[in-house]
Amino acid sequence: MSSFEQSDCCTAPFALLRSLFDAAVAAARADVCVPAHLPPPRGRLIVIGAGKAAAAMAQAVEANWPGPLQGLVVTRSGYEAPLQRIELVSASHPHPDAVAMAAAQRMLALVGEAGADDQILCLLSGGGSALLPLPAPGVTLADKQALGAALLAAGADIGEINCVRRHLSAIKGGRLAAACSQTPLLTLAISDVAGDDPVNIASGPTCADPTSCADALAVLRRYDVDAPPAVLQLLRSGAGESLKPGDARLQHASLRLVATPRAALLQAAQAARAAGLQVCLLGDAIEGESRQVAAAFAAIARSAARYGDPCAAPCVLLSGGETTVRLRGDGCGGPNAEFLLALALRLQGEAGVYALAADSDGVDGGADIAGACIGPDTLQRAAALGLDARAALDNNDAHGFFSALGDAVVCGPTLTNVNDFRAILVLPGQ
């Protein structure tokens, strides 16, 4: 007999969904995933890094490294963790600031001083691109800030945005690894990108980049983004080219993925099965505009509820990846909340279907909520409160909608980041 008890789940479907989200996040905690990948002790260890998990990763290194240790890591303000031997800098995200730029300059200087008997350990995680800004000569921080904001608003995906970033940088696209000379360099990365391509984790400061300046120019044209003359000059001349596969300057560098979106989903799937649910994994690399992804997932959820296909209730549909939002209104446009609002409008109160979507870092877009939950009565309750779901979606104000409804998921900074988490729960007999 299944361990699933329908009465338990039906009285608290949101609690079950939240437990699956918590299981996924726990699988990517730095103290869980970092220690097993540390290199054997050999002389002094110089630690550098950037991202929302950088402080927690550095803390895990300090707790498990027996020898000489020093370094510098940058994290988003609010994502700090106590450190004793590694310096921590807090900076702005998602818009890069001068504090982070100064830290990036100091990192290059620090690794440049490493000796033949040292080791360098680079800790990278989601958010590292914005937290490691160092413009190429001739490009200003303001230029990069404006281009990043414009591409985000236009709905560019993270791969496209990072392609532009790498070719306007003095540290990304393998340049940080090149600065390490021949000192052994190991990068430990927590992946927040679809497909786990290292070149898109913090824009690949320690790995080869197969994309080109021409690719970056194509992204700017695709989204009709006006770029300053200095940016266009850098890209058109080829002076912004990053390090390519086979570059001898990368021979001393290696990289390991210590946590990934798929591993987090598998942990959530294990928790769901323990609760007696069938599990259907829809993929850990789902991309596209939030509203379009919601339309597809609504059809799958309805099919499961009505016909038991692709899995029969009680079941849960799990997925990860990173959707995008094209800003049409004046809301803040968090991709997870927008996905859920579009999903609710597509489902129109489908009986027995509940869902949670949240960013594993605890912040959905630029707001201090991780995401939200919906159920069959979401639209009905909203209407009773005078909330117009369609108008909120048109205004990209899903955050305001779910906060007013009381269905926002708020967990605070998780100190990790393995991208978006989505779970759609389908219950029988509703």
Indicate whether 1 pLDDT > 80. no
Output the pLDDT for position 430.
56
Output the pLDDT for position 365.
80
Q: Where are the beta strands (DSSP E) in 103-233?
A: 119-124, 185-190
What are the structure tokens assigned to 46, written together?
A: 């110089």
Indicate whether 111 pLDDT > 70. yes
Confidence of residue 333 (pLDDT cuts 50, 70, 90): confident
CA angle 51, 319, 259 (to 5 degrees): 35
* Other CB atoms within 10 A of residue 311 CB: 17
List, in order, residues 6 or more apart from 319 with CB less than 8 Å away.
Answer: 265, 281, 282, 283, 284, 286, 297, 422
In this predicted model, what pLDDT tens digit does every residue of 6-16 receive, in sequence order?
334 444 899 99
What is the average pLDDT across 67-83? 96
Q: How far apart are CA 294 and CA 207, in angstroms?
A: 34
Domain 30-260 CATH class label: alpha beta
Q: Which of 48-62, 247-261, 327-341, 400-414 has the lowest mean pLDDT?
A: 327-341
Output the pLDDT for position 164.
96
Indicate whether 371 pLDDT > 80. yes
Q: How far apart are CA 312 and CA 426, in angstroms?
A: 8
Q: What percent of the chain has pLDDT over 70?
A: 97
Q: Which of 10-24, 200-214, 217-231 has the lowest mean pLDDT?
A: 10-24
What is the average pLDDT across 44-55? 97
Indicate whether 366 pLDDT > 80. no
Indicate whether 429 pLDDT > 80. no
User: Per this entry, what is the length of the chain?
Assistant: 430
Distance of CA 365 to the CA centre of its chain: 10
Q: What percent of the chain has pLDDT over 90?
A: 87
Phi, psi of 239 (to 5 degrees): -70, -15
In this predicted model, what pLDDT tens digit does every residue of 113-154 receive, in sequence order?
998 899 999 999 999 999 999 999 999 999 999 998 899 888
Domain chopping of the chain, boundaries = 6-26+262-426, 30-260
Q: How far apart are CA 95 and CA 144, in angstroms?
A: 9
Confidence of residue 347 (pLDDT cuts 50, 70, 90): very high
Q: Look at the domain 6-26+262-426 and name its fold.
A: glycerate kinase, domain 1 (3.40.1480)
Give the C-alpha distances (Å, rounded to integers) separating 95 from 21, 47, 98, 126, 324: 27, 24, 10, 14, 17
Quote the DSSP letter at residue 385.
T
- Residue holding tokens 């050999």? 42
* Other CB atoms within 10 A of residue 159 CB: 17
* Helix (H) or strand (E) run with residue 69 in it: strand 69-76
Return the axis-axis angle of helices 229-237 and 141-154, rounded to nearest 10°.
90
Contact 415, 60 (CB under 8 A): no
Phi, psi of 347 (to 5 degrees): -75, -30
Confidence of residue 67 (pLDDT cuts 50, 70, 90): very high
Q: With helix as H, strand as E and coil as C, how does 252-299 read? A: CEEEEEEECHHHHHHHHHHHHHHCCCEEEEEEEEEEEEHHHHHHHHHH
Q: How far apart are CA 193 and CA 324, in angstroms?
A: 13
Confidence of residue 326 (pLDDT cuts 50, 70, 90): confident
What is the average pLDDT across 273-284? 97
What is the average pLDDT across 223-251? 96
Confidence of residue 332 (pLDDT cuts 50, 70, 90): confident
Indicate whether 319 pLDDT > 80. yes
Output the pLDDT for position 183.
94
30-260 and 6-26+262-426 share a CATH fold? no
Indicate whether 3 pLDDT > 50. no
